[in-house]
Structure 1
Amino acid sequence: MATATYKEITQLGLWKNNPALVQLLGLCPLLAMSGSVVNSIGMGIATTFVLVTSNISVSLIRNIVSDAVRLPAFVMIIAAAVTAIQILMQAFAYSLYEVLGVFLPLITTNCVILGRADAFACKNRVLPAAYDGLMMGLGFSIVMFLLGFFRELFGTGHVFADMQLLFGPMAENWMMTPFPNYPQFLYIVLPPGAFIFTGFMIALKNMIDDHYKKLELAAKADAPKEDRRVRVTGNVS
Structure 2
Amino acid sequence: MNRYLERLYNGLWKENPTFVLMLGMCPTLAVTTSAINGIGMGLSTTVVLVLSNMMISALRNIIPDRVRMPAFIVVVASFVTIVQFLMEGFTPSLYASLGIYIPLIVVNCIILGRAESYASKNPILPSMFDGIGMGLGFTVGLTLIGMVREILGNGSVFNVAITPLNNYHISLFGLAPGAFFVLGGLVAIMNVIRKKMEAKGKPLPAAQGCLAGDCSGCSLSSACTGKAAGSQASATTESSGKEENN
| 1:208-237 deviation line (CA, Å, top 9, x unaligned) | 11111111179xxxxxxxxxxxxxxxxxxx
Paired-residue identity, %: 45
SS at match of 1:5: helix
SS at match of 1:194: helix
> What runs of 5+ residues in structure 1 fail to find an aligned partner?
162-174, 219-237
> What runs of 5+ residues in structure 2 fail to find an aligned partner?
204-246
SS at match of 1:216: coil
2:84 aligned to which of 83, 86, 99 = 86
Pairing of 1:66-215 with structure 2 (within 5 A): 66-161=64-159, 175=160, 177-183=161-167, 184-215=169-200
Tell me whether 4-13 or 132-141 shows the greater mean CA deviation.
Answer: 4-13
Structure 1 stretches of 4+ with a deviation exceeding 3 A read: none
When Rg is computed on C-alpha atoms for both structures, the one with the higher figure is 1
| 1:37-81 deviation line (CA, Å, top 9, x unaligned) | 111111011110110011011001001011001110001111111
Q: Under a length normalisation based on structure 1, what TM-score does the superposition of the two structures give?
A: 0.82
AA in 1 matched with 2:162: P
- Equivalent in the alignment of 1:51: 49
Q: Report if aligned partners of 2:8, 2:132 keep a CA contact under 8 Å in 1.
A: no
Do the aligned partners of residues 65 and 147 (structure 1) sit closer, same or farther apart at CA in structure 2, a change above 3 Å counting? same
Q: Report if aligned partners of 2:12, 2:134 keep a CA contact under 8 Å in 1.
A: yes
AA in 2 matched with 1:87: F
| Matched positions, count | 201
- Equivalent in the alignment of 2:34: 36
1:16 aligned to which of 14, 17, 41 = 14
- Equivalent in the alignment of 2:243: none
State the 1:182 CA deviation.
Answer: 2.9
Q: Under a length normalisation based on structure 2, what TM-score does the superposition of the two structures give?
A: 0.79
State the 1:119 CA deviation.
Answer: 0.4
State the 1:179 CA deviation.
Answer: 1.2
RMSD: 1.4
| 1:103-131 deviation line (CA, Å, top 9, x unaligned) | 11111110000000000001111111011
| 1:164-183 deviation line (CA, Å, top 9, x unaligned) | xxxxxxxxxxx2x2211133
Q: Distance in 1 between matches of 2:42 and 2:138?
A: 7
